[in-house]
Structures are given as C-alpha cells and as structure tokens.
Structure 1
Amino acid sequence: MAITTCAGCGATKPGPDGSPTDVYPSTHCDKCPPWKCEICGDMSSADALCGCWVSLAEMPLADVKTLFARDGGFDITPTEEPQP
C-alpha cells in the first residue's frame, strides 16, 4: 500500500512515483512551508535545508565512504585538518 500524504502539511501526491515516500511517510515535502529544525534551530525547507544536512550529491565516492566509516558510526561532524 503506497503512502501518498505528507505528514508535515497533508499534501497528497497523485499516486506512487517510485520514491521512498511510497513506502515511508514524508515528514516534510516541497509543498510544506519552511520549518524550524528540531536539532539546530535554523529554518529549513525542501529547497534550502538547514546546516544539519550534508549533500553527498557532488562528493567523491571515497569521501562518502569515509563519512560513513569514521569511527564505525555515522558521525559526519567536520574535523579540523592537521596543521603542518
């Protein structure tokens, strides 16, 4: 059974489209008004995510793997580079 209604604003998509929201409810969608992030307190929206989000789209695969492998967890907090 497909989930087509956004939990954030109640917007309904016309039908299943192959996205993860066909299976898991969307907390926010592109029709939701901006919201305050519960983690950092900054404003976030579908078009302009807050600083809690790290885009992996343009990142080299090796760097993505490093983010997820660091310390055996999913900590993606930036670290300072060692100074020469």
Structure 2
Amino acid sequence: MGAILTCKGCGATKLYPTGDPTDLFPSEHCGDCPPWICEGCGETCSAVALCSCWVQLDTLLLADVKALFGADGTFSVDPA
C-alpha cells in the first residue's frame, strides 16, 4: 500500500489505512472538514450532509444503480 495522503480541504492526515480510496489519493474533503459551498449547486455540503448534487447509491437496488449509470449508454461514472 502507498502513502496515506492528506485531505486537500482541511489538511487532516489519516493515521492508518481505512480501505477507502483516500488511502492512496488525497480527497477534496473529508469527515474532518467543516461544511463547504458546493461548486456545482451552491448549496452547503459536508461529509455527513451531502448537497443535492450527490446520488446515494447505497440505498438503491442494484437494478436501479445499473439503470442510473447506463442511462446514456456508456456506463460512464464521469459527470463531464
């Protein structure tokens, strides 16, 4: 495993690996960041209270997740 990187938002550094992507890549925001203004919608966003730009997939059925990503025919998760 590579280095545990520091959050770009608040500068917090993880003390040990947690198994998520921030073990290897720095995040823009983390659970230690104070709320911030979303660049996409202008709403307040935080690690525990996401703005309306986010779609939480953990509450959806697998078929709904597949339909969400397959809607444009590319199955791309890149919003651009």
Gaps of 5+ in 1: 76-84
Shift >2 Å, 4+ stretches: none
Q: Deviations over 1:30-66 (max 9, x none)?
A: 1100000000000000010000001111101001000
- Residue pairs, 1:37-76, within 5 angstroms: 37-73=38-74, 74=76
Alpha-carbon RMSD? 1.5
Shift of 1:16: 2.0
Instruction: Give the aligned residue type for 1:11.
Output: A
- TM (normalized to structure 1)? 0.81
Q: Which amino acid aligns with 1:61?
A: L
Q: How does 1:1-84 map to 2 (within 5 A)?
A: 1-73=2-74, 74=76
CA separation in 2, counterparts of 1:17 and 1:47? 17
Structure 2 unmatched ranges of 5 or more: none
Asked which structure has the greater CA Rg, the reply is 1
TM-score, normalised to structure 2's length?
0.85
Question: Does the residue aligned with 2:71 lie in a helix, a strand or coil?
Answer: helix
Q: CA deviation at 1:17?
A: 2.1
